[in-house]
Amino acid sequence: MNKYLQLFRTGNAVMGIVGVFVACFMAAGFDIADEIVNLLISAVVVFMFMCGGNALNDYIDYEIDKTAHPERPIPSGRIERKTALYAGLVMFISSVAISFLTMDIECIAIVIVACILMVAYETCLKQRGFIGNITIAILTGMMFLLGGSVVGSMMDNVIVAAMAMLVSIGREITKDIEDMDSDEGRITLPMRIGIRNASIIACAFYVAGPLLSIQPMIAGTYGILYYTVLIADAIFVFCAISVFKDPHRSQKLAKKAMVLALISFILGVFRF
């Protein structure tokens, strides 16, 4: 594989494009075709943003990658560490610059804030446990806000963005509980307050997310197929219960529940 394609982990970046397209569809429905230019712009913006994040990650974690991922460009000697840093910064700057083509202040602001958060996360917040969990959750939710802003309907995606943030925090805490014995160089929430207390907090976030999913039902925002979100909600509640005994299973199921919830929001666009 080309060393830069591997550095940028373009497969993940393409998945980011899929994510923002889904977010656009959730906000605009079948009127999405009217925003084809902005859709293409957002695809490039997200692609470059994710490439920048992956390059910066490799620059920061090069020591860890010597043993964990020796095949990556920096530890394998195919790319100099400084080159990876420059490549990542170019991608971030390009992401912000291209966002200006949308001529939408909300979209531009989201991209700028996302780049700042990603740099902050990789350089210092990742090692600080809970604040790092929150940062990742915010970035997850911002994907939906970006998709909405691109089609001029950011507020339509606020609920799904908030739901994604809440359950993401729960999952990130659960992952820290699972990895507590092997985590090095990080001060995670379970390390600070203990496994049981961290599990209680994770449980609360797992439950808070599904509670938000009820709002579109009350408001009649989506069609009848949206009610399939109740399946995802039930899985999140199960994750909240199982985090105390089996954090590995809990976080794995939470990931699947996130996908199911996303599908429900998509299905909700179809009205019969």
Pick 33 or 8 by higher pLDDT. Answer: 8
Residue 222 has pLDDT above 80, yes or no: yes
The confidence score (pLDDT) of residue 103 equals 87
pLDDT given for residue 107 in this prediction: 94
- Outline which parts of the chain fall under CATH 1.20.120.1780: 158-272
- Angle (deg, nearest 10), helices 247-269 and 195-212: 10
Rounded percentage of the chain residues whose pLDDT exceeds 70: 98
Superfamily of domain 1-152: UbiA prenyltransferase (1.10.357.140)
Residue 153's pLDDT is what? 85
Query: Residue 71: exposed, middle, or buried by beta-carbon count in 10 A (0-12, 13-18, 19+)?
Result: exposed
- Average pLDDT of the chain is 92
- Answer whether 23's CB lies under 8 Å from 143's CB: yes
**Reported confidence tier of residue 121, pLDDT bands at 50, 70, 90:** very high
Look at 265 and 65; give whichever has higher pLDDT.
Answer: 265
Tell me, letter by letter, the H, E, C secondary structure of 159-198: HHHHHHHHHHHHHHHHHHHHCCCCCCCCCCHHHHHCHHHH
pLDDT digits (tens, 9 = 90+) for 136-158: 999 999 999 999 999 988 888 99
pLDDT band (50, 70, 90) for residue 184: low
Whole-angstrom distance, CA of residue 171 vs CA of residue 174: 5
Q: With contact defined as beta carbons under 8 Å apart, do 224 and 210 qualify? A: no
Mean pLDDT of 224-250: 95
% of residues, the chain, pLDDT over 90: 75
Residues 28-68: tens digit of each pLDDT? 888 888 889 999 999 999 999 999 999 999 999 888 888 87
Residue whose pair of structure tokens reads 């429905």 in the numeric block: 29
CA distances from 214 to 78, 229, 266 (A): 51, 9, 16
Mean pLDDT along residues 67-71? 86
Residues spanned by CATH 1.10.357.140 within the chain?
1-152
Instruction: Indicate the helix (H) or strand (E) that contains 108.
Output: helix 105-123
Q: For residue 101, is pLDDT > 90?
A: yes
Of 14, 12, 86, which Cα lies nearest the Cα of 55? 86
> How far is the C-alpha of 121 from the C-alpha of 128, rounded, in Å?
9
Overall average pLDDT of the 170-197 stretch: 87
What's the confidence (pLDDT) of residue 85?
95
CATH class of 158-272: mainly alpha
